[in-house]
Amino acid sequence: MKLKTVKKLLNTETIFEDCGINDNHNLDSACGDDLEINNACGADLMSDVLAFSNQKTLLLTGLTNPQVVRTADMVEIKVIIFVRGKEPQIETISLANQLNICLYSTDKSLFEACGLLYKNGIGPEEMNYIEASK
């Protein structure tokens, strides 16, 4: 599903959107409307997000601090949608700008946003748990 379709489904407001024009990033990392989104992750626990490693995953969360952007960057997530109409801290927006991560907000709850995406064909991201040695 294209990002523009996700934004329409969730009726998002744009907080920060950089389509790869930033000199520090190449166009391959752009997150414009044509970015393909295959999976979604809904989480407020950033250690759960670290289990993901797919660029075509978007993150839905109620957390608004810079750690959300740092975590997304570590697993190459390029789109974060804040739920319940939350607005991120200024530091979060600044960091997203530096790392070319798009930020949006929706008034929908985490449950409703995930449900709408699932209903319209976005799958859950499979967790890549590391099995402990016996």
Residue 101 domain boundaries = 3-123
CATH of residue 88: 3.40.1390.20
Query: Is residue 133 situated within a structural domain?
Result: no
What is the domain count for the chain?
A: 1
List Cα–Cα distances, 5 to 23, 117, 129, in angstroms: 27, 10, 30
CB contact burial 41-66 (16+ within 10 A = b; e otherwise): bbbeebeebeebeebbbbbbbebbeb
Distance CA 45, CA 111 (A): 15
Average of per-residue pLDDT values in the chain: 85
**What are the pLDDT digits (tens) for 114-125?**
999 999 999 876
- Helix (H) / strand (E) containing 123: strand 123-124
pLDDT the model gives residue 50? 87
Query: Is residue 14 situated within a structural domain?
Result: yes
Q: pLDDT class for 33, splitting at 50, 70, 90?
A: confident
Query: Is residue 95 situated within a structural domain?
Result: yes
Give the mean pLDDT of 99-128: 90
**Looking at the predicted structure, is the pLDDT value of residue 43 above 90?**
yes
Q: Pick the more confident residue, 75 or 52.
A: 75
pTM score, whole prediction: 0.84
